[in-house]
A and B are shown apart, each in its own frame.
Chain A
Amino acid sequence: MSDRLINVFSTVLGVDSADLSDETSPENCDGWDSLAAMNLVAALEESFGVHLTTREIMKMASIGLARATLQSKGVDI
Chain B
Amino acid sequence: MSSTENNTPNPKKVWSNFQQALERQPLPNAELFSIGLAGTFTIDPLIPYLGANLLECGLKPAFHVAPYNQIYQLCTASDNFFGGEFPSAIVILWRLEDLLGNALNQARSDDDQALARITAELEQFIAALQTLRQCYSGVLVVSTPPYPSLPSFDTTIPGQSTTGVLLHAELLARVIRGLGSIEGLCLLDLNSVANQIGLESGRDIRKWYLYKQPYSEIMWHAIGDQLSRVIKSRNISPKKVIVLDCDNTLWGGIVGEDGIAGIDLGQDFPGSAFVDFQNQLLELERQGVLLAVASKNNPEDVYEVFDQHDAMVLRRENICIFEVHWRSKSESIASIAEALNLGIDSFVFIDDNPKELAEVAAIHPQVICLQAPEEPAYLTAVLTNNALFDTAEITDEDLARSKMVRAELNRKEHTAGVSREDFLDSLELRVTAFPAQPQHYARVVQLINKTNQFNLTTVRRNRDEFDALVADPNWRIHCIEVEDRFGSYGLVGVAILQRLDEQHFFLDTFLMSCRVLGRDVETAFLDVLVDRSIAEGASFLVGEYRPSRKNALVKNLLCDHGFEASGDRWQVGAARVKKPSPFITVVRIEDD
Contacts and interface: CB of A to CB of B under 8 A. Distances in A.
Contact of A35 (B10, B12, B44): B44
B42 A38 contact: yes
Given A14-B19, A35-B44, A41 B12 contact: no
Nearest to B207: A38
B16 interface: yes
A46 B211 contact: no
Contacts of A50: none
A42 B211 contact: no
Interface in B159-177: none
Contact of B45 (A11, A12, A39): A39
A47 B13 CA distance: 9
A58 interface: yes
A54 interface: yes
B12 A38 contact: no
A37 B12 contact: no
A38 B19 CA distance: 17
Contacts of B13: 46
A72 interface: no
A38 B15 contact: no
A14 B209 CA distance: 25
Given A38-B45, A38-B211, A43 B206 contact: no
Which interface class (under 10, 10 to 19, 20 to 34, 35 or more) fits B?
10 to 19
Which interface class (under 10, 10 to 19, 20 to 34, 35 or more) fits A?
10 to 19
Interface in B42-68: 42, 44-45
Contacts of B44: 35, 38
B15 A41 contact: no
B551 interface: no
Contact of A12 (B10, B12, B42): B12
A53 interface: yes
B217 A11 contact: no
B210 A42 contact: no
Contacts of B207: 38, 41
B209 A42 contact: no
A58 B206 contact: no
Contacts of A54: 206, 209-210
Interface string B21-45: 0000000000000000000001011
Interface in A42-61: 42-43, 46-47, 52-54, 57-58
Given A38-B210, A53-B206, 6 more contacts: A35-B42, A38-B213, A39-B45, A41-B210, A43-B15, A52-B206
20 contacts: A8-B12, A11-B19, A12-B12, A12-B16, A14-B19, A35-B44, A37-B211, A38-B42, A38-B207, A38-B210, A38-B211, A39-B11, A39-B45, A41-B207, A41-B210, A43-B12, A46-B13, A47-B12, A54-B206, A57-B206
